[in-house]
């Protein structure tokens, strides 16, 4: 930790203690890669290592502590149902035992049969009531599950475009980087910026601007695979993360998306009048071993702005960028 200038915090100690033990091959491999790549162990990197490899192993928390009160109440109800079922079952067994004892005495069978029928009827009624209670609880649980799923989706989704939001993209990209290093696979990203977006807002209003964003988002979402992530990066910028794709494959996807956007027809909803074509500029970069997400996206950004300088409506990869000042 001292050699890598890692601050001596409890979380960092936990990461490096696990690394020294050698019980987590994936963690050891990632740290070795970061060291070999001379990656700085900054606050973000240290936090990612802890969240990914240490936090999931830590136990001792009450699993119900994060559940809504309503869900906890339903669990209590289910426990009560089970207790009631056990009690009813014990009562039923006791009653049947009494009937069995009477039958063994050789008494008149008619009252014994009547008691047996009565007890079976009571048991059936109790079972039906318990089943109805479970059915109602099950419906409520389904409703809660749907609500939680919808809430989670809203928290990870950009309301305007329907794409993943920036927070969701950051998490997806973080895990994709770790997977790429663990599996020694490619990972590429392309960044989209809508050309002359301000002009759409100024000439036609923000509603048309929103329509343009939704159009570009729709084409982007349709242009990537299910394993990829399309997200709104901010403002009129959209981003796509392509796990397993090298620079050439990612560039081909980006170019296909760019062409489809330029070929789309945009009409004003209020009048049905055609507004004109929408074009985008795109920058493409491939993940380099042990680099930060910001460094990769910065190359995308440079490619994007070179596309703007060259006349817009084009795709530029990192291979077309001029070497940075001071680079070897």
Decide which of 43 and 80 is more confident.
43
CB–CB of 18/24 below 8 Å? yes
Decide which of 271 and 256 is more confident.
256
Decide which of 160 and 140 is more confident.
160
Put simply, whether the predicted model's pTM sits higher than 0.85 gets the answer no
Let me know if 150 is exposed, middle or buried by CB neighbors in 10 A (0-12, 13-18, 19+): exposed
pLDDT per position as a tens digit, 178-230 = 999 989 999 999 999 999 999 888 888 888 889 999 999 999 999 999 999 99
Nearest Cα to 241, choosing from 226, 254, 257, 230? 230
> What average pLDDT does this structure show over 133-151?
62
> What average pLDDT does this structure show over 2-30?
87
CB–CB of 217/199 below 8 Å? no
Identify the top-confidence range among 9-23, 27-41, 94-108, 253-267: 253-267
Q: Which of the four pLDDT bands, split at 50, 70 and 90, describes residue 275?
A: confident
> What average pLDDT does this structure show over 283-311?
94
Identify the top-confidence range among 34-38, 73-77, 308-312: 308-312
Q: Which residues are catalytic?
A: 236
Which residues of 145-236 form beta strands (DSSP E)? Answer: 187-194, 229-234
Measured CA distances, 9 to 3, 14, 44, 46 (Å): 15, 9, 14, 10
In the structure encoding, which two tokens stand for residue 182, read together? 């663990």
> What average pLDDT does this structure show over 241-245?
97
> What average pLDDT does this structure show over 109-128?
71
CA–CA separation, 137 and 77 (whole Å): 8
**140 by DSSP, 3-state: which?**
helix
């Amino acid at each position: 930790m001292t050699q890598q200038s890692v601050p001596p915090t409890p979380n960092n100690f936990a990461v490096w203690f696990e690394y020294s033990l050698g019980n987590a091959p994936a963690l050891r491999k990632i740290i070795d890669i970061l060291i070999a790549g001379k990656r700085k162990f900054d606050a973000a990197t240290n936090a990612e290592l802890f969240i990914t490899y240490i936090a999931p192993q830590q136990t001792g928390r009450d699993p119900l502590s994060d559940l809504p009160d309503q869900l906890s109440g339903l669990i209590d109800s289910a426990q009560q149902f089970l207790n009631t079922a056990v009690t009813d079952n014990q009562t039923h067994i006791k009653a049947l035992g009494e009937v069995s004892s009477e039958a063994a005495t050789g008494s008149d069978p008619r009252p014994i049969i009547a008691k047996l029928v009565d007890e079976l009827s009571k048991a059936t009624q109790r079972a039906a009531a318990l089943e109805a209670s479970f059915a109602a609880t099950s419906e409520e649980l389904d409703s809660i599950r749907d609500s939680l799923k919808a809430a989670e989706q809203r928290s990870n989704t950009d309301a305007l475009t329907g794409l993943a939001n920036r927070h969701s993209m950051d998490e997806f990209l973080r895990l994709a980087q770790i997977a790429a290093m663990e599996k020694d696979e490619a990972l590429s990203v392309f960044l989209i910026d809508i050309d002359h977006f301000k002009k759409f807002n100024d000439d036609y209003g923000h509603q048309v601007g929103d329509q343009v964003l939704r159009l570009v988002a729709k084409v982007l979402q349709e242009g990537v695979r299910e394993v990829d992530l399309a997200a709104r990066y901010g403002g009129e910028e959209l981003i796509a993360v392509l796990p397993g794709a090298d620079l050439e494959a990612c560039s081909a996807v980006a170019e296909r998306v760019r062409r489809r956007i330029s070929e789309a027809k945009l009409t004003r909803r209020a009048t049905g009048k055609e507004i004109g074509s929408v074009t985008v500029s795109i920058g493409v970069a491939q993940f380099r071993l042990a680099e930060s997400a910001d460094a990769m996206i910065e190359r995308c950004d440079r490619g994007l702005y070179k596309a703007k300088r060259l006349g817009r409506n084009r795709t530029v990869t990192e291979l077309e960028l001029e070497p940075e000042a001071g680079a070897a």
